[in-house]
Structure 1
Amino acid sequence: MSPLHPEPGAPAVATRGLHKRYGRETALAGVDFLVPEGAVYVLVGANGAGKSTTFKVLMNLERPDAGTAEVFGVDAGRGGPRARAQIGYVPEHHGPGYRWMTCGQLLRHAAAYYPSWDAAYAEHLGRALGLKPHRRAGTLSKGENRRLQLVMAMAHRPPLLLLDEPTDGLDPVIRRRTLALLADHLADTPTTVVVSTHHVTEMETLADHVGVLREGRLVAQMPRDELQRTVRRYRAGVPDGWTAPPGLPQARRSRAGRELQWTLVGEPAELTARLTAAGAEVREVTTLGLEDAALAFLAEEDTV
């Protein structure tokens, strides 16, 4: 299976040839983004890779220069409110628009827009996250504002959650509680989740699909099991003057004396055979954690 083609099935989110520029800067360059319905999809990338822009296009907050974006088969642009009604969204940067309202007032205001709003669930989430209903939105800290956003995104139990750095600004206790609430939410409510995060290890137990954006291009997209099967660390002894086989799909290399360590992408048996045929002695092949496997697609080669 190609890194750019996840498992077949009806997608909850699908973009095709998505392009977006801001002046001379390219934010998205032909992104074909597929999220299977019911998946927990972790989107990985450096700052400026295009993660937030992708979310904004899906929310119809930005219009693409080319390409299409659909949410449950509805065009995110032409479908507008119908598409957004299916989404609970936590943006990367957001200050409440009604700064004079209290948190409680803001939640009641949001409830009016969602027929599926679950007031008892909103109260439960607010209590669990330590939200203070009497606090005015304009006085909230970054972390407190994040908690409010999470409640507003989840309380109407949408079929799709778009979470852009959802734990950013949260202290360790609330961060763990947020992840536990998300796990409980997934157990109780049929939901597709797309999470953009720099804290990939936090999603280790929840993620089942992974995508990697690099400079506006989707360089990898696959089920989590396939990612960890095909991206591994190889340790090999090599003779002086050794040359790697041509076209070896390497992500990162380091060298100490006659020992070479590579993170390689591909079928382990095939890669081991190619290295051995080229004169290397493969001493160890190591499975990587979710974060290391995903970040391998972002790492520059190290030539030591």
Structure 2
Amino acid sequence: MITIRDLHKRFGRHDALRGVDLEVPQGKVTAFLGPNGAGKTTTIKCAMNLVDRDSGEVSVLGTDARQLARPQWQRIGYVSENRQLPGWMTVPKLMNYLRPMYGAHWDRDFEKKMTALFELPLKTRLGSMSRGQRMKAALLSALAYRPQLVVLDEPFSGLDALVRDEFLLGLLELTEAEGWTVWISSHDIEEVDRFADRVAIIDSGRVDLQEDVDTLRERFRSVELWFDSEPVLPPAVPETWLNPQVAGRTILFSDSNYDESRSATVLSHVFPASRRLEVRRMTLREIFVALARSYRTKNS
């Protein structure tokens, strides 16, 4: 649905994107993660043709992003955290305003279903609504025409826990029912972890990793070794051992390529004095934090 190759974007003297390569495959939910300032929003804006790229190739629905026109936009639903809505309108007035732009693509019954699902007030002006209600209204306006591709840039930003959960449940239900392709950028990794099929992680303007969540979880492990006295890290450790550190009488690190058949043997060989080993699977949030820390170490 989206293919990005060698994407570059500079703002003044700052290289925001330094050769981004990214795929958003059809029918999957791709979570786009990265530290603040890594380039997530700039990448999305280049893909949506809201910011012109300096170089590289960006294809959306088989069309160059610079050539996106009405036929493509009728198949794309886009919501950003800074989405501006006309404050003087109510939800029904907003729907009446947008409906003619999408013609036969707009589904009135689907619109009514989502309005009820999101529990949106019909007589309150958008400017008087809470941030959570406005975000739900923005999502409604981007989904009522049943787009094939849904792009969400920080949709949970600023929402309290209850509203975020309601928003997510509604999005989950709709995504599963409609079979949409979703590309979502978010800092709320625990929320994304509940429904992402695939993850792409960007750091310092480059995508470092992109793969299915299941394979990512399968290869990452948190490793902790116990010793009778304070241990010392060996002078060289495998590159797949991220952020090794000594904490009292233990050594801790994240193994990004753990193999059930051989890794325990390797660990016992490297750390023969270890008296206990604990290996556990990691959540998506823990994997992201481990990678973010390793990026910081590389860049320092």
Distance 1:55 1:240 in 2: 46
Query: 1:272 deviation in Å?
Result: 3.9
SS at match of 2:30: strand
Match of 1:287 in 2: 281
Residue pair 1:230, 1:266 contacting (<8 A) in 2 also: yes
- Opposite residue 45 of structure 1, the aligned amino acid is G
Query: 1:86 deviation in Å?
Result: 2.0
Partner residue of 1:264 out of 231, 237, 255: 255
- Opposite residue 121 of structure 2, the aligned amino acid is K
Query: 1:232 deviation in Å?
Result: 1.2
Which runs of 5 or more structure 2 residues have no equivalent in the other structure?
Answer: none
- Please state if 1:107 is matched with 2:95: yes
Match of 1:167 in 2: 156
- Opposite residue 76 of structure 2, the aligned amino acid is I
Partner residue of 1:76 out of 51, 62, 65: 65
Name the structure where helix makes up a greater proportion of residues: 2
Query: 1:261 deviation in Å?
Result: 0.5
Query: 1:19 deviation in Å?
Result: 1.0
Residue pair 1:103, 1:136 contacting (<8 A) in 2 also: yes
Comparing 231-240 with 86-95, which one deviates more in the overlay? 231-240
Query: Deviation digits for residues 23-60 of structure 1, max 9, x if unmatched?
Result: 12222111111111101111111222111112111211
Aligned length: 290
Residue pair 1:244, 1:275 contacting (<8 A) in 2 also: no
Match of 2:147 in 1: 158
Pairwise mapping of residues 201-280 of structure 1 onto structure 2 (< 5 A)?
A: 201-237=190-226, 240-269=231-260, 270-280=262-272
- Opposite residue 103 of structure 1, the aligned amino acid is V
Partner residue of 2:133 out of 144, 153, 158: 144
Query: Deviation digits for residues 126-145 of structure 1, max 9, x if unmatched?
Result: 22223223223333332222
Distance 1:244 1:271 in 2: 19
Which runs of 5 or more structure 1 residues have no equivalent in the other structure?
Answer: 1-11
Query: 1:246 deviation in Å?
Result: 4.2
- Please state if 1:59 is matched with 2:48: yes
Pairwise mapping of residues 175-186 of structure 1 onto structure 2 (< 5 A)?
A: 175-186=164-175
Query: Deviation digits for residues 112-135 of structure 1, max 9, x if unmatched?
Result: 111311122222222222322322
Q: CA RMSD in A?
A: 2.2
- Opposite residue 51 of structure 1, the aligned amino acid is K
Report sequence identity in percent.
Answer: 31
Residue pair 2:3, 2:22 contacting (<8 A) in 1 also: yes
Residue pair 2:33, 2:199 contacting (<8 A) in 1 also: yes
Distance 1:70 1:81 in 2: 16
Query: 1:247 deviation in Å?
Result: 4.1
Distance 2:156 2:51 in 1: 24
Query: Deviation digits for residues 43-79 of structure 1, max 9, x if unmatched?
Result: 1112221111121112111111111111222111123
SS at match of 2:102: coil
Distance 1:89 1:72 in 2: 14
Residue pair 2:233, 2:246 contacting (<8 A) in 1 also: no
Residue pair 1:161, 1:194 contacting (<8 A) in 2 also: yes
The change in CA–CA distance for 1:244 and 1:285 in structure 2 (over 3 A counts) is farther
After TM superposition, the runs of 4+ consecutive aligned structure 1 residues lying more than 6 A away are: none
- Please state if 1:297 is matched with 2:286: no
SS at match of 1:47: coil
Scaled by the length of structure 1, what TM-score is found?
0.87
Query: Deviation digits for residues 241-287 of structure 1, max 9, x if unmatched?
Result: 44154442233233223310101211334544443332354702110
- Opposite residue 240 of structure 2, the aligned amino acid is P
